[in-house]
Amino acid sequence: GAVIRLEDYRPTDYLIDRTELDIRLDRHATRVRATLHLRANAAGRPSAPLVLDGDELRLISLAIDGRPAAPDAYEASPERLVIHAPPASPFTLTIETEIDPTANTKLMGLYRSGSAYCTQCEAEGFRRITYFLDRPDVLSVFTTRIEADRDEAPVLLGNGNPVKAGDAGGGRHYAVWHDPFPKPCYLFAIVGGRLDKVADTFTTMSGRRVDIAVYVEPGKAGDAAYALDALKRSMAWDERVFGREYDLDVFNVVAVSDFNMGAMENKGLNIFNDKYVLASPETATDTDYANIEAIIAHEYFHNWTGNRITCRDWFQLCLKEGLTVFRDQEFSADQRSRAVKRIADVRVLRSQQFAEDSGPLAHPVRPRQYREINNFYTATVYEKGAEVIRMLRTLIGEEAFRRGMDLYFDRYDGTAATIEQFLSCFAEASGRDLGHFALWYEQAGTPTVTARGHYDPAAKVYRLTLTQATPPTPGQLEKSPQVIPISLGLVGASGADIPLSPPATEGHAPGVFVLDGPSATLTFTDVPEKPVPSLLRGFSAPVRLEIDLEEEDLLVLFRHDSDPFNQWQSAQTVATRAILRAVAGDKRAADHRMADALRHFLAMRAASDPAFAAQVLALPTEADIAREIGHDVDPDAVHHARRLVKAEIGAALGDELAELYGRLTTREPYTPDAAGAGRRALRNACLDLLAAGRPAEGEAFALHQFRDADNMTDRFAALSVLSHLPGTARETALAEFAERFRDNALVLDKWFSLQAMIPETGTLERVRGLMSHPAFSMGNPNRVRSLIGSFAMGNLTQFNRPDGAGYEFLADIVIALDARNPQVAARLLTAFRTWKMLEPGRRALAEKALRRVAETPGLSPDVADISGRSLS
């Protein structure tokens, strides 16, 4: 594909004020009649030809202003419909196309999932339904008539409000939906099928009654209750926290089993991957419940941030995505534990975004160019995009932030906006110049902040020198200093915070200091004793922090820091150092101080804050350690080092872990709330560590828990522990699990994934074998991600086998899958995003496999783009 550039943006020559669709569903020959009400755009070129986008379309008929178009008046191909000389404005086009939803394996446009029809239009899928100006700055009011066989599709859903329904003769029926809010076509959706539902009502802050429902495959309505409840909580939260009220009479969520990503925020008709809707205690883990809650909220929140205000062009994707991720993170923090949510979010940010940002696929939060927009729904746009909003709030304060949001909603409602317009609202609300801050949207790469402290006991002065540097990234070799908010405290020997003088960088909240140049020295006076600096509290900026703290200092922070994030971070840093020592060959890397500190911590905090304690017990991942090493990484060395340290800690704390494990064992019935989830998380973290330190005991506990559990969280955690212990117990448990859940594809996904992540040489063969399992299918994205994705992204040693077989396997899969579903294939291929930091042997083999992909003839733009950039 050609390169699309931000600087080339220009408005369209035509606008489509209204769109009337008549869609007659048929498995192989769906007919779509679109009537577009067009007029010339004052901002465009006068009397230009009208060029509509298409993708694999077949034109049946075309009328201009109601009269059949003369053959020389237009040119139609599967990719384009050009009207050479459109009539004087306004005018209508009536376009009839025919599409085959069954043949649509890309899962973009109209396709079949199970026995239902559904659509996915973001980013450029609407052009697979009819010819259109398929770009986000063309806002149109849609009226959609859907017709289908009544038996095949008794449920017919569209955007907006239901207007009319009735019999269409010949066993067919129809429904008409009207969406009064102008929207870009990427938010268009329909669903038709035999579906069950759970329904409720929500009364908005102004007293309007909204009918809300979650639709699922027949027989699964019982598993949709949690999603419906999460939806109600989301609706209430957005009113309370952002003053945002829902705007239609109905809000529908539909769960389908074949979906390229998590979910989609179509206006009034969110379509979900069923993995993020369906849950019961027996089949879903606490993590699944938390994900459902977060994604239901995310898609709902898009109604304002994304739908009412959309993006001018796809370069502005973070305008809706970063902001909406920020909003869903805040929602989850309010529903659960704020500290634990922050830790979990930072784990994701580091493992996904930092990884992306340090390799060949690095790009700015707002990219300036792309070849395939679907490849830019990335951790950088989403997660770093959310961090940028969070920094903005830290810098201007909560009140100005809320005023800025209100201004944004007021001023840009009903428009397709830009990042500049968004930022201008906050500049106005806060009275600050955000020009330098805006660099966060432009500059890729993760800044490193280095801190050096010096205490002068005679003067009672503490000086902290902060410097920043951002490494080069593709296309950006020179970097400028960013505006970095650093929340900090100085911790005294007693563990209490020493009052700060000055309390903050002028004009900022207490404890917030701003580094906006290459370096700065903060001078604190009246510091009575040598402090331990606690920097980047709450992870106040998406940077790497380097600070020369001694182990003892870190342990002071671990015990006493008033900021829970930094307590956790200190424990992580101590563990990271231990693992790095082990990588360097130190046979007893985890020294007793760490075990003592953990023992003390568990005694103090396990009972009062189990969810937090579970986070502390979870060691940094192999990928975390690999990133810390940064170059010439040997994944086997990392694996063995981490395993060694984990075993040492597990052995040193064995008695405490076993005791705590027993104490946390309850017979209370399962509920998916945060408190229960916290206790289970800690108990399972204990089991995991215990199994590392005392494998025989761990295996016995795990096998018992596996068979005894009354919920998926505990059953799967036990199976996960067993999966790391080679032997008959593991194989028996895996077989029992498969038998028990043989009819539940989503649960079998967990089973695929777990096996794909076993860090043993036999795993590649196991994965190949599982591809022939009756429950596996290359056509279903969830299956592919569970088995192949987990192997490539979640199994550092086996994907990076020293013989290159893991790379060749992934290359084969990507090439095969590309013909069927390019989006999923391209996403799998990003498993190579950190290949350049491997040791030379593996690096060469990874490059060879990537080249083989890149040189395959007939690649999709999606895979061609990822393979090309990965090699650059």
Q: Tell me, by CB under 6 A, how many residues bind ligand B3K.
A: 12
State how far the Cα of 785 lies from the Cα of 788, in Å rounded to an integer. 6
State how far the Cα of 518 lies from the Cα of 230, in Å rounded to an integer. 45
Q: Identify which of 38, 3, 41, 35 has the alpha carbon closest to the alpha carbon of residue 21.
A: 35
Cis peptide before 90 (omega within 30 of 0): yes
State how far the Cα of 420 lies from the Cα of 179, in Å rounded to an integer. 29
Choices 296-304, 363-371, 429-437, 836-844 (CB under 6 A): range interacting with ligand B3K:
296-304
Answer yes or no whether residue 299 interacts with ligand B3K by CB under 6 A: yes
Q: Which is nearer to ligand B3K, 36 or 828 (CB)?
A: 828
Answer yes or no whether residue 317 interacts with ligand B3K by CB under 6 A: no
| In contact, 791 and 806? CB cutoff 8 Å | yes
Shortest Cβ distance from residue 261 to ligand B3K (Å)? 5
Shortest Cβ distance from residue 278 to ligand B3K (Å)? 18
Answer yes or no whether residue 227 interacts with ligand B3K by CB under 6 A: no
Binding site partner of 223, from ligand B3K, Zn ion, none, Cβ cut-off 5-8 A by kind: none
Binding site partner of 656, from ligand B3K, Zn ion, none, Cβ cut-off 5-8 A by kind: none
State how far the Cα of 767 lies from the Cα of 309, in Å rounded to an integer. 44
Answer yes or no whether residue 261 interacts with ligand B3K by CB under 6 A: yes
The crossing angle, in degrees rounded to 10, of helices 712-723 and 674-693 is: 20
Binding site partner of 377, from ligand B3K, Zn ion, none, Cβ cut-off 5-8 A by kind: ligand B3K
Instruction: Count the alpha carbons within 13 Å of 779 in the hemisphere toward its beta carbon.
Output: 11
Q: Which is nearer to ligand B3K, 296 or 425 (CB)?
A: 296
Choices 314-322, 330-338, 488-496, 742-750 (CB under 5 A): range interacting with Zn ion:
314-322
Q: Tell me, by CB under 5 A, how many residues bind Zn ion.
A: 2
Choices 257-265, 586-594, 641-649, 686-694 (CB under 6 A): range interacting with ligand B3K:
257-265
Q: Which is nearer to ligand B3K, 373 or 638 (CB)?
A: 373
Choices 260-268, 460-468, 615-623, 770-778 (CB under 6 A): range interacting with ligand B3K:
260-268
Binding site partner of 374, from Zn ion, ligand B3K, none, Cβ cut-off 5-8 A by kind: ligand B3K
Residue 383, helix vs strand vs coil: helix
Answer yes or no whether residue 618 interacts with ligand B3K by CB under 6 A: no
Choices 262-270, 561-569, 634-642, 836-844 (CB under 6 A): range interacting with ligand B3K:
262-270
AA identity, residue 598: L
Residue 469, helix vs strand vs coil: strand
Shortest Cβ distance from residue 122 to ligand B3K (Å)? 4
Q: Which is nearer to ligand B3K, 730 or 827 (CB)?
A: 827
- 804: tokens are 């290159």
Q: What are phi and psi of 549, to 5 degrees?
A: -85, 140
Q: What are phi and psi of 145, to 5 degrees?
A: -105, 125
Q: Which is nearer to ligand B3K, 111 or 776 (CB)?
A: 111
DSSP string, 716-757: HHHHHHHHTS-SHHHHHHHHHHHHHTTT-HHHHHHHHHHHHT
Sign of the C-alpha dihedral computed for residues 774, 776, 782 and 786 taken in this order: positive
- Distances from the Cα of 223 to the Cαs of 122, 228, 294, 743, 745, in angstroms? 27, 10, 17, 15, 14
Q: Which is nearer to Zn ion, 97 or 324 (CB)?
A: 324
Answer yes or no whether residue 122 interacts with ligand B3K by CB under 6 A: yes
- 654: tokens are 């064995």
Question: For the chain, first and last CA: distance in Å?
Answer: 17
State how far the Cα of 444 lies from the Cα of 843, in Å rounded to an integer. 24
| In contact, 483 and 514? CB cutoff 8 Å | yes
Shortest Cβ distance from residue 382 to ligand B3K (Å)? 7
Choices 132-140, 294-302, 593-601, 640-648 (CB under 6 A): range interacting with ligand B3K:
294-302
Query: Torsion angle of alpha carbons 384, 385, 389, 394, nearest 10°?
Result: 10
Shortest Cβ distance from residue 298 to ligand B3K (Å)? 5
Shortest Cβ distance from residue 217 to ligand B3K (Å)? 21
Catalytic residue (one of 122, 124, 299, 372): 299
Q: Which is nearer to ligand B3K, 273 or 534 (CB)?
A: 273
State how far the Cα of 681 lies from the Cα of 9, in Å rounded to an integer. 49
Site for ligand B3K in 378-407 (CB under 6 A): none
Answer yes or no whether residue 188 interacts with ligand B3K by CB under 6 A: no
Q: Is 296 left (phi over 0), alpha (psi -120 to 50) or beta?
A: alpha
From residue 74 to residue 113, what is the string marking binding to ligand B3K with x (rule CB under 6 A)?
Answer: ----------------------------------------
Answer yes or no whether residue 377 interacts with ligand B3K by CB under 6 A: yes
Q: Which is nearer to ligand B3K, 94 or 375 (CB)?
A: 375
| Chain centroid to CA 333 | 16
3-state secondary structure 234-290: HHHHHHHHHCCCCCCCEEEEEEECCCCCCEECCCCEEEEEHHHCCCCCCCCCHHHHH
Shortest Cβ distance from residue 125 to Zn ion (Å)? 15
DSSP element (H, E) containing 703: helix 695-708
Q: Which is nearer to ligand B3K, 138 or 571 (CB)?
A: 138
Shortest Cβ distance from residue 386 to Zn ion (Å)? 10
Q: Identify which of 618, 677, 613 has the alpha carbon closest to the alpha carbon of residue 284.
A: 677
Binding site partner of 560, from ligand B3K, Zn ion, none, Cβ cut-off 5-8 A by kind: none
DSSP string, 663-676: HT---PPP--SHHH
| In contact, 278 and 255? CB cutoff 8 Å | yes
299 catalytic? Reply is: yes
Contacting residue, 76, 99, 123, 146, with ligand B3K by CB under 6 A: 123
AA identity, residue 128: R
- Distances from the Cα of 566 to the Cαs of 498, 554, 555, 572, 574, in angstroms? 16, 9, 11, 9, 12
Beta-bridged to residue 469, according to DSSP, are: 448
Contacting residue, 374, 394, 470, 615, with ligand B3K by CB under 6 A: 374
Instruction: Count the alpha carbons within 13 Å of 693 in the hemisphere toward its beta carbon.
Output: 21
Choices 37-45, 263-271, 760-768, 807-815 (CB under 6 A): range interacting with ligand B3K:
263-271
Shortest Cβ distance from residue 555 to ligand B3K (Å)? 40
Shortest Cβ distance from residue 263 to ligand B3K (Å)? 6
Q: Which is nearer to ligand B3K, 302 or 750 (CB)?
A: 302
Answer yes or no whether residue 321 interacts with ligand B3K by CB under 6 A: yes
Q: Identify which of 491, 520, 495 has the alpha carbon closest to the alpha carbon of residue 505.
A: 520
Q: Which is nearer to Zn ion, 13 or 321 (CB)?
A: 321
- 244: tokens are 């945002």
Shortest Cβ distance from residue 789 to ligand B3K (Å)? 16
Shortest Cβ distance from residue 359 to ligand B3K (Å)? 21
Q: What are phi and psi of 490, to 5 degrees?
A: -115, 125
Site for Zn ion in 320-349 (CB under 5 A): 321, 324
Binding site partner of 122, from ligand B3K, Zn ion, none, Cβ cut-off 5-8 A by kind: ligand B3K
DSSP string, 209-232: EEEEEEEESTT-GGGGHHHHHHHH
Site for ligand B3K in 706-765 (CB under 6 A): none
Q: Which is nearer to Zn ion, 642 or 827 (CB)?
A: 827
Contacting residue, 217, 265, 357, 648, with ligand B3K by CB under 6 A: 265
Q: Which is nearer to ligand B3K, 310 or 358 (CB)?
A: 310
Q: Where do contacts with ligand B3K occur on this chain (CB under 6 A)? A: 122-123, 261, 263-265, 298-299, 302, 321, 374, 377
Q: Where do contacts with Zn ion occur on this chain (CB under 5 A)? A: 321, 324
Q: Catalytic positions, please?
A: 299
